Structure 1
Amino acid sequence: LISGKAQAEGGSARTSLLILVSIFLSAAFLMFLVYKNFPQLSEEERECIKVPRDMDDAKALGKVLSKYKDTFYVQVLVAYFATYVFLQTFAIPGSIFLSILSGFLYPFPLALFLVCLCSGLGASFCYMLSYLVGRPVVYRYLTEKAVKWSEQVERHREHLINYIIFLRITPFLPNWFINITSPVINVPLKVFFIGTFLGVAPPSFVAIKAGTTLYQLTTAGEAVSWNSVFVLMILAILSILPAVFQKKLKQKFE
């Protein structure tokens, strides 16, 4: 089905990309408005207000945000929220550093909820973008991979939330691929959001915990220890167990 649509709709990929660029520019303008309402910064501080690309950037950004967080709490929170959602929506790298940064800026429960919500909303916006304009792109450039994942989704259709949670915890599929192909292979948006919200919690737990010692980190990789990897593996297995057990029971009674 998907391979057939690739031929039928592949020609409109260029139009879809143009629409996507227009949406991106509109979102970027909204981000500009968010930062226009930010507190008055010095020239040195202004240089630190950017999407972190490494741990040094994250430390510099954390230093500036922590300085203004108490006095301009809402502005900093809105800027953090908007930036995280923006990165997730357009699959722009850097959200891992924002997850770590949340552990430095906010109490753990708030940081975890914030990261899960931003991840869920951003991924859902990416899903909707793909639903609106991304289908021709998927049909044209990701047909083979989408077909393979479509088969996996059909196998787990009865336990789709568990499967999405499993995929979010594990690194088997890139998050951007899950986001843009899910609407094409008919993963319901509600299931997608819930699975993402819950699935990003375990890895976010690790990142946020690392954020409490932000200035002791030199790379994002240091946020992950062997203990945390082991815990994530256990949680990934637990997330998929209900589907496995029900399948076994169904086979037994049949």
Structure 2
Amino acid sequence: MAKKRRERREVDNISAETLMEEETKTKDGAVIQGPAYSGGGSARMSLLILLFIFACAASVMYLVYRSFPELSEDERGMIKIPRDMEDAKALGTVLSKYTDTYYTQVLMAYFATYVFLQTFAIPGSIFLSILSGYLYPFPLALFLVCLCSGLGASFCYMLSYLVGRPVVYRYLTEKARNWSQQVDKHREHLINYIIFLRITPFLPNWFINITSPVINVPLGVFFLGTFFGVAPPSFVAINAGTTLYKLTTAGEAVTWNSLAVLGVLAVLSILPVCFQKRLQQKME
């Protein structure tokens, strides 16, 4: 046991030295992991690259919708990213009409749209989660939403890794520094911590996505934590989608019972971490 503790300390010391080499101090003294921010030119270049990637993704979306069956004039007006429950109902009306005949096209359009929204942190995915419960059987809807959320968040992570660091350094320094400290405390149980954050509303999902690569959250852990972490809130949204036309706002999908269930699941996700820390303290 003592030998294992010595080996763990040596690994921790090596990791600490490696991170210290990568630390960057900002003007206000905050420390964030990663390469130094190189100034306004870097920010402008990052913005241009981001716009180029967005244009490419939008082109792919256009090709996906081009493969959709011929729609009437009224139906074309309903095919849009839902901003409220009325938009979601209208979209559900059109998609349900074509789901049986053009199953693959509808599924691919749903998948591409969800991933697109998550990748670029565009609002509207909550309505797509609710809509999935209306269009598909519950197990498929839950897997689809979790997969789309995991992939979209991971693409957002990679975008931030490639071009988002100047934005984090310039505008989110203090928040990123505070979260970096929290991540360091949970480094040994990071997947549990990511799941906990996805279930609870303590940090916005877009903030988690763009700051995770800056503070060295591994992509694999990030994807798995997101995939499993979004399952409980998605369960609530999908279940509400089975009664889509009884809803008038997205808030009606959340009940006191569902909030209680989410709270219990959030506690369960972090309990293994607490128990292991207690056990380590007793053994030491």
Q: Does 1:116 align with 2:141?
A: no
Residues 1:75 and 2:105 are matched in the alignment: yes
What is the CA deviation profile of residues 17-69 of structure 1, one whole-angstrom value per residue up to 9, with x for unaligned ones?
11101111110111011001101000000000000000000000000000000
Looking at structure 1, the residues matched to 119 and 163 of structure 2 have their Cα atoms a distance apart, in angstroms, of: 13
Question: Which stretch of structure 1 is more off in the superposition, 224-233 or 17-26?
Answer: 17-26
Name the TM-score, length of structure 2 as normaliser.
Answer: 0.88
Q: Which residue matches 2:4?
A: none
Q: Tell me how far 1:139 sits from its aligned partner.
A: 1.1
Residue 64 of structure 2 is aligned to residue 9 of structure 1: no
1:244 aligns with 2:274: yes
List alignment gaps of at least 5 residues for structure 1.
Answer: none
Matched with 1:200 is 230
1:22-33 → structure 2 map (5 Å cutoff): 22-33=52-63
Aligned counterparts of 1:141 and 1:27: Cα–Cα separation in 2 = 25
Q: 1:222, 1:100 → 2: CA distance?
A: 11
Equivalent residues in 2 for 1:196-235 (5 A)?
196-235=226-265
Letter of the structure 2 residue corresponding to residue 221 of structure 1: G
Q: Distance in 2 between matches of 1:60 and 1:136?
A: 40
1:67-96 deviation digits (Å, cap 9, x = unpaired):
000000000000000000000000000000
Q: Residue 41 and residue 219 in structure 1: after superposition, are their counterparts in 2 closer, same or farther (change >3 A)?
A: same
Unaligned runs of 5+ in 2: 1-22, 27-33
Q: Please say which structure displays the higher CA radius of gyration.
A: 2
Q: Deviations over 1:207-229 (max 9, x none)?
A: 00000000000000000000000
The amino acid that maps onto 1:37 is S
Distance 1:8 1:217 in 2: 47
Q: Which residue is 1:91 aligned to?
A: 121
TM-score (ref. length: structure 1):
0.98
> Aligned partners of 2:211, 2:39: CA distance in 1, in Å?
15
Query: Residue 9 of structure 1: SS of its match in structure 2?
Result: coil
Structure 2 equivalent of residue 51 of structure 1: 81
Q: Is 2:197 aligned against 1:148?
A: no
Q: Is the 8 A contact 1:7 1:140 kept in 2?
A: no
Q: Distance in 2 between matches of 1:93 and 1:124?
A: 17
Give the distance between the partners of 2:135 and 2:118, measured in 1 at CA: 20
The 5-angstrom pairing of residues 132-211 of structure 1 reads 132-211=162-241
Moved over 6 A (4+): none
SS class of match (2:203):
coil
Q: State the alpha-carbon separation in 2 of the partners of residues 96 and 6 from structure 1.
A: 34
Q: Which has the higher contact order (CA 8 A, sep 6+)?
A: 1
Instruction: Give 1:2 shift.
Output: 4.3
1:3 and 1:75 map into 2 onto residues whose CA distance is: 49
Once the two structures are aligned, what percentage of the paired residues are identical? 80
CA RMSD of aligned residues (A): 1.1
Report the Cα distance in structure 1 between the residues aligned to 2:254 and 2:24, rounded to whole angstroms: 37
- Counterpart of 1:131 in structure 2 is 161
CA distance in 2, matches of 1:80, 1:125: 17
- Once the two structures are TM-superposed, the CA of residue 3 in structure 1 deviates from its matched residue by 3.6
- Count of residues in Structure 1 that have an aligned counterpart in Structure 2: 254
